[in-house]
Each structure stands twice: as C-alpha cells, then as structure tokens.
Structure 1
Amino acid sequence: MLLNRPIPFSFLLGQIRYEALGVFVFANLMFALRHYVGLEYLSIPLAIPALMGTCISLLLAFRTNQAYERWWEARVIWGGIVNDSRTLIRQLLTFLPLDTTSRSAVQTMARRQIGWCYLLGQTLRGQPVEKLIQTYLPEEEQATMLSAAHRPLAVLQAHADQLREWYRAGQLTDIQLAQVDATLSRLTDAMGRCERIKNTVFPKTYTFYLQVFIILFTAMLPFGFVESLFFVEVPLVTLIASAFFLIEKSAIQLQDPFENRPTDTPMTAIAEGIAGSLSQLTGAFVVEQPTELSKYYKL
C-alpha cells in the first residue's frame, strides 16, 4: 500500500516509461514532418482532440473508481480478519478453563492463527509458504499442511479439529462451540472473498478499448497545435499523453490488490499487527515475519 509520503519519480515514470518514450518519438516525428518537410497541412482543429480527451477523462474516472472499489473491498476484508482473529483467541481465553494445559493449547491456536494470516497473504500473492508452515504450525501438523492442495483452508480445519476435541472433552458447551465456530466461519468467508477478488479478472475488453482511445487521442494531439506553440509542442504532447497513461496504469494496479506490488493491500503488515495482538492476549512470544522496509509503501 502506498503511504502518505513522497513517491519517487522513478516509481511513477517506471509505470509508463515505454508509453512516454513512444509518444515522445511520435511527437518528434510529426513535428519534423510539419515544420521541416513542408507538410503544414497535417493539422486538425484542436477542438477534436479536446473533445476526445474529455470523453476519455470521464471513462478514466469511472475506471479508476471501479478499480479503487476492488482495492477497498480487499482492505475491508482484511480489517475483518483482524477483528475475527482477535475475537477467536479472546473467546477461547474466556470459555476454556484457566489451567496450564488449556492456556498452552490456546497459545498453540494463536500461533496457528498468526500463521494462517501470513499464509493467506502469501498464497494470494503466489509466494512460497513452506517456511511459514514450519515456523508457526505444530510439528505434527506440518506434513499434512505441506501436502494439502489448499493450505489456508487446511489450517482452518486444524482449528475446527481442535474445537471438536475440546467439545468432546467437555471444555466447551454447545453455545460456546457455536459462537467460536461462527468466528471460524467468518474467517472462512473472508478467505473466500479474497479469492473471489484474486480470481475474478477485470473485464479485459474495457481495458483494451480504453487503451485504444488513449492511443488515438495521443495520435491526434500533435496535429491540433498551432504555430504559436512551435517549440513546446513535443513536451506538451508527451506530458498530456503521459498523464492519461499514468492514470490508466494506476487503475490497473489498484484493481489487483494481491499481486505483490507497492499498491497491494498491506497483508503482511496487517498480519504483523495481528501477531502483536494475539501475543498480548496469550502472553506468548511469537515470531514475526520482517516486512520489507520502504520509504513510501508497505506490503
């Protein structure tokens, strides 16, 4: 997630470097044809590209709004994961007997839940998770988790298996079991909603058509400048077109919040916050995964 700090120009330019270079070369070519080859008639009224630019601006506003809604939905889901993770451990601390065995089991549950948060984030980003499993999950569960096709789901099932053991041992009543299971169900639902965002592709035709319109607008723009802008024609065309391309690129990045990019939902940072909260609740020290440090974003 980009922070409220100065963003390096290199990051912004890196998003559109090929488009900006292409526009710069094209604008110089048109400038040479019009002013040095004698093809001054290659001109159109400036109102035509201005009208097209207005239409594209409206489309870009709608496009960016839809992309931000996807990003914000992902952030809301992870906010719910924070709340439900805390609720899960707090419920267990409240319902279970205050003996050493139960407290140790809750600490194991807390470590497993922290591992699930990191595991879900890394799975959504397509990153390796073997080290996380070895760090946070009990040794007797690791082989099962490593062989599971859907590892975050397997971790939640391990939670459910533990609840069943407590219930059969008479440590949880029917009502208490139902309340804790409802919390697990919300975590499962949150995981599914993240996977829906991850696996639902933003309509490619919409992106393609918008890119075509921006290219057409950029191609028309050099022909609309008048002689009074003789020496600033190329820089202006490059800057105006780059602004449109940059907004469109920003929307593309926001629409996919689980791609291990600076614009991602900060799942690792959120998991670190959950680790701190659950450590406080259980009184146990848990290993936190170091977040990649950056001056302008966090993952």
Structure 2
Amino acid sequence: MLLNRPIPLSFLLGKIKFEVLAIFVFANVVFVLRHYVGMEILSIPIAIPALVGTCISLLLAFRTNQAYERWWEARVVWGGIVNESRTFIRQLLTFLDDSARLATIPTFARRQMGWCYLLGQTLRGQPTEQLVKTYIPQTEQSGILGSAHGPLAVLQNQAEQLRQIYQNDQLTDIQLAQLDATLTRLTDLMGRCERLKKTVFPRTYTFYLQVFIILFTAMLPFGFVENLFFLEVPLVTLVASAFFLIEKSAIQLQDPFENRPTDTPMTSIAAGIEESLNQLVGSPATIPQVPSSLFYTL
C-alpha cells in the first residue's frame, strides 16, 4: 500500500515510459511535417480532440472508481480478518479455565498468526513453507504443506483442536457454537479474498478505453492550429501522458493481491495481528519486522 510520503517520479512514470516515448516521437513527426515540410493541411479543429478528451475523462473517472472499490473491498475484508482473529483468541481466553489456557491457547494463537501470513502469501502466489515451519505445530506441518489449500487446512486444524477440547468437557455446547461461528466468518472472509483474486476485471472495457486514449493522443497534435512552435510537442506529451497515467493507476488498483506497491498491505496487517494476539496470550509483544520501502508497505 502506498504511504502518505513522497512517491518517486520513477515509480509514477515507470509504468508509462514507453507510451510517453511514443507520444513524444509522434508529436515531433507531426511538428516537423507542419512547420518544416510545409504540410499545413495536417490540422483539425481543436474542438474534436477536446470532445474526445471529455468523453475519455468520464470513462476514466468511472474506471478509476470501480478499481478503487475493488481495492477498498479487499482492505475491508482484511479489517474483518483482524477483528475476527482477535475475537477468536479472546473467546478462548474467556471460555477456558486457567489450566486449559496454558495448555492450548498459545497453540491456537500461533496457528492463527500463521493462517494470516499464509493467506496473504497464498493470495500473492508467494512461497509459504517457511511460514508453516515457523507458526504451525510440527505434527501438522506435513499435512498443510501437502494440502491443495494451505489456509483452509489451518482453519480445519483449529476446528479439530476445538473438537478435542469439547470432547474433554472444557467447552459447553453454546461456547463451541460461538467459536465455530467465528471460524465460519474467517472462512467467509478468506473466500471473499479469493473471489477478488480470481474475478478478472472485464478485459474488453480496458481494451476499448485504451483504444480511445490512443485515438485521442493521435488527434491531439493536429489540433494545435495556433502557432505555438516549440511548445507544441511538450504540451501534447504532457496532456496525453496524464490520460495514460490515470489509466495505469486504475489497472494497479483493480488487483489488490499481486505483490505490488499498491497492494492491500496484508503482511503488515498480519504483523499487527501477531502483535495483538501475543498481547492477549501474554507472550512478548514484539513488533514483527515487515519489509518496506520509503513510500509503500506490503
């Protein structure tokens, strides 16, 4: 996630460098043909590109809004994961007696921390073996590493341990039902993340918008009927680049789980959950080190 800090120009323009170069070259070709070859016929009323630009602006506004809604939904889902993870451990602390707390709750907490990290890494397509070895009990590691869906296997292990505690008469029927409801909500939140990950933004909409932007860019150099001379090329490049930059920004926002600076900060959120759960179970509340840069956090 981008932070409220200065963003390097290289990051902003790096995504459109080829488009900017193409615009600059094309604008120079039109400029040379009009002013040095004498092809003054290469001009159109400025109202034409202005009208096209206005239409594209409306489409871009809608496009950016839809992309942001996807990003924001992902952030809301992970906010729910924070709340439900804390609720799960807090319920265990409330329901179990002192002897059961010491024997089982630290295991539940470590497993829940691992689930949060594991879900984030799985959504990003990153390796998870080290996370499993760090947070999951050794007897469960092979089963999770060999499963087709690691995060789901971790939640099932949470449920299995709850069943064992219930069979030992350490939980009542109502308490078990409440804990199972919390695990159900965590499963639902995981499914919402997967829906966002697997639902592709309509490709045709992106393609048509890109075609319109290219059309606008191609018409723009011909619309400067006034003799601005050396200002024409910089102005054309600047105006057209702004449209490409907004469109690229929307593309980055629409996929919040792709291990990019604009991602939902799942690793940072999981680190916050770890700190909270450590506090609840009485473990050292150390703040995990999360890789970050000067202008974004993962």
Per the shorter chain, which TM-score range?
over 0.9
Contact persistence 2:255–2:263 (CA under 8 A) = yes
Letter of the structure 2 residue corresponding to residue 163 of structure 1 = L
Q: What is residue 232 of structure 1 aligned with on the other side?
A: 231
TM-score by length of 1: 0.98
Q: What is residue 84 of structure 1 aligned with on the other side?
A: 84
Contact persistence 1:77–1:190 (CA under 8 A) = yes
1:109-141 deviation digits (Å, cap 9, x = unpaired): 100000000000000000000000000000000
Shifted more, 5-14 versus 189-198: the winner is: 5-14
Structure 1 SS opposite 2:42? coil
Contact persistence 2:45–2:225 (CA under 8 A) = no
Letter of the structure 1 residue corresponding to residue 32 of structure 2 = A
Q: What is residue 66 of structure 1 aligned with on the other side?
A: 66
Shift of 1:284: 1.9
Distance between the aligned counterparts of 1:103 and 1:189, measured in 2? 29
Letter of the structure 1 residue corresponding to residue 110 of structure 2 = R
Contact persistence 1:115–1:136 (CA under 8 A) = yes
Letter of the structure 1 residue corresponding to residue 52 of structure 2 = M
1:250-293 deviation digits (Å, cap 9, x = unpaired): 00000000000000000000000000000000012488653212
Distance between the aligned counterparts of 2:279 and 2:124, measured in 1? 28
- When the two chains are superposed, the root-mean-square deviation of aligned CA atoms in Å is 1.1
Shifted more, 251-260 versus 282-291: the winner is: 282-291
Contact persistence 1:93–1:103 (CA under 8 A) = no
Stretches of structure 1 lacking an aligned partner (at least 5 in a row): none
TM-score by length of 2: 0.98
1:1-299 matches, within 5 Å, as 1-99=1-99, 101-285=100-284, 290-299=289-298
Aligned length: 298
Contact persistence 1:49–1:224 (CA under 8 A) = yes
Shifted more, 15-24 versus 81-90: the winner is: 15-24
Contact persistence 2:44–2:225 (CA under 8 A) = no
Contact persistence 1:111–1:286 (CA under 8 A) = no
Distance between the aligned counterparts of 1:47 and 1:54, measured in 2? 10
Distance between the aligned counterparts of 1:37 and 1:122, measured in 2? 58
Structure 2 SS opposite 1:171? coil
Structure 1 SS opposite 2:246? helix
